[in-house]
Structure 1
Amino acid sequence: MKIAIIGCGAMGSVYAGLLAACGHDVVAIDRWLEHVDAINQKGLRVEGASGDRIARIRAYTDPPDESVDLMIIAVKAAQAGAAARHARRMLSGNTVVLTIQNGLGSAQDVAAAIGEERLAVGIAAAFGASLPQAGHAHHNGMAAVRMGAYGSLAADRLETVAAAWRDAGFNAETVPNVAAMQWEKLICNVAYSAPCAITGLTVGQVMDDPDMSKVSQAAAIEAWEVARALGVPIDVQDPVAHVRAFAARIPDAKPSVLLDLERGRKSEVEFINGAIPREALKCGMRAPVNEVLTALVRQREGLDGH
């Protein structure tokens, strides 16, 4: 299969390296020129929970004029729609697009750019990925990749994509309900994204801290309550146990919101903790815990000059 990874950051690099290592023809698109040059000159090193390997792939700063079988959009949520529009030259009539972001809202932007009939939405659980240096990705965990059709994508085409991920060593599965899949991950994201960003603590440190663990759990419970009020069929009976099990798999990880702040970049907190107050309004509720956490992260972004 010919695969394009749009956004070869920490998570995208893990996807690219493992998919290439099992024989797929992988093309990576990323704006970080040093990273692109390192990949082309030395290969892409991926190490951590999956082992240690160097994958030979092609990397570009702009999408080349060639079509692919599968396009994986792995940029941050705020950039997903623009990235999809920018990469449309790589689409053919048979291309499946899988967009993988944290939070809620980005899939609609991608669908508007490339059409809902070819779109699948994915989530990646408990990876804890980072880029120690250009051309080198590390990940702390490798729990699961789940994906579902956004609109009318046929089940057999979605299963072909999932099988490619499984062949690469991922625990990949298809799900019938995209909304439930997203909310089950979002409950974990809100528990650690903003709390870690505000404090600088890792996921495990927030889970174990006597004060921040209460904040983390309150954010998760609030998101769980909103999902239930909206009628989303989530399979989570105990949100606290749900987020603690998530953290136990990647205790040393830093969420992407914290990593963005450390690197002087605007975070995607508006799509994670910030999504809960917006969704709460749809069912006549408020989400004050996540509203305050989002405001605190925004204040940090402002102080850091974003």
Structure 2
Amino acid sequence: MSKIAIVGTGAMGSVYAGLLASAGNEVWAVDTWAEHIDAIRRNGLRVEGASGDRVAHPHATTDAAEAGQCDLVVIATKARDVVEAATAAKPLVGADTVVLTIQNGLGSAERIAGALGDGRGVAVGIVGGFGASIPEPGHVRHEGWEMLHMGQLDGPVTPELETVASVWSDAGFRVSTYDDIELMVWEKFLCNVCYSGTCAVTGLTIGEVIEDPHAWRIASGCATEAWEVGRALGVPLAIEDPVDYVRRFGSTIPHARPSMLLDVLAGRLSEIDVINGAVPEQAARAGLRAPFNEVVTALVRQRESRLLPA
């Protein structure tokens, strides 16, 4: 049994907390969403969907210090919140604690490592094919259960990370470890870029985007630009046909709505800056342009501008 803190129990973090707790680990769900935490305390955490239907009973708190030091700390917040989350998670982190960050987009792991300080190494997780959402506090659903890749931010996979991978595998996750985690980040990034902004702008599910020729032109254009940028920057992508790659990925979760769409529908700020918005920034480094992503990013930011203080 491992002692695990999941910092950020939105949809994906709740899936992690529920399934890891069901496997017999001591899990602490840590979040600032008091209503969700209170529901887990009262009734447990219901996890339904591709993994079945169960009620798990992780510990739940809004104060990370309550949990104490853990074997594994998973930072599962939105990318915009990672520095704040890492700072709040410091009471959970001991000398032998493995810190694993799982976010969409680019750059979160570096920001977390900086926030933790003291040269602490950070492990990076990439997940895909879950399609998770929270119907109500204390209840999470996921449409798929496809993959979890892990690697160190700097350097090859360590024995400690292999032990962490085994903990997740024992809980039913499909886990692989990689020495070149940057490559895995970019392969997932292509899928995020394809569907996140397009779904947020159109309101369509992933499957509906694939089937709609107008939406698919936008989505596949976004993915192709990201692929071109990655190749230009020297990322060793083995993908020869990015459109086929993202289509096959999306076909595994046709009913899913990306978290960016859920954010837009809920009136929350999204992760547009580290997903579609990151492509033009990376393109500039390579002397390229990314017009599909520029337009999609601008449309999402326009909607979000109403949420920002004047």
Superposed pair shares fold, TM > 0.5: yes
CA separation of 1:53 and 1:288: change in aligned 2, threshold 3 A: same
Native 8 Å contact 1:117 1:151 kept in 2: no
Where does 1:262-273 land on structure 2 (aligned, <5 Å)?
262-273=265-276
Amino acid paired to 1:92: G
Partner of 2:84: 82
Aligned length, in residue pairs: 306
Structure 2 residue runs of 5 or longer lacking an equivalent are: none
Q: 2:138 aligns with which of 131, 135, 138?
A: 135
Partner of 1:146: 149
Alignment deviations for residues 270-290 of structure 1 (CA, whole Å, 9 cap, x no partner)? 000011111111111111111
Q: 1:225 aligns with which of 228, 233, 238?
A: 228
Alignment deviations for residues 191-217 of structure 1 (CA, whole Å, 9 cap, x no partner)? 111110001111110111011101111
2:33 equivalent to 1:16: no
Cα offset, 1:179, TM superposition: 1.2
**What secondary structure sits across from 2:213 in the alignment?**
coil
Amino acid paired to 1:20: A
Q: 2 CA distance for matches of 1:117 and 1:157? A: 14
Structure 1 residue runs of 5 or longer lacking an equivalent are: none
Amino acid paired to 1:224: W
Amino acid paired to 1:103: G
Alignment deviations for residues 23-58 of structure 1 (CA, whole Å, 9 cap, x no partner)? 100001011111101101111110000001111111
Partner of 1:49: 50
Partner of 2:64: 63
Q: Could you say what the CA RMSD is over the residues aligned between the two structures, in angstroms?
A: 1.3
Partner of 1:102: 104
Alignment deviations for residues 163-205 of structure 1 (CA, whole Å, 9 cap, x no partner)? 1110000001111112111110111111111110001111110
Amino acid paired to 2:109: A
Native 8 Å contact 2:73 2:98 kept in 1: yes
Alignment deviations for residues 223-278 of structure 1 (CA, whole Å, 9 cap, x no partner)? 00000000101221110111101110111111111111111110001000011111
Q: What is the TM-score normalised by the length of structure 1?
A: 0.97
**What secondary structure sits across from 1:251 in the alignment?**
coil
Q: 2:250 aligns with which of 243, 247, 250?
A: 247
Q: 2 CA distance for matches of 1:142 and 1:18? A: 11
Q: 1:293 aligns with which of 288, 293, 296?
A: 296
Partner of 1:31: 32
**What secondary structure sits across from 2:65 in the alignment?**
coil
CA separation of 1:169 and 1:237: change in aligned 2, threshold 3 A: same
**What secondary structure sits across from 2:173 in the alignment?**
coil
Where does 1:197-212 land on structure 2 (aligned, <5 Å)?
197-212=200-215
Q: 1 CA distance for matches of 2:280 and 2:268? A: 23
Q: What is the TM-score normalised by the length of structure 2?
A: 0.96
Q: 1 CA distance for matches of 2:238 and 2:61? A: 40
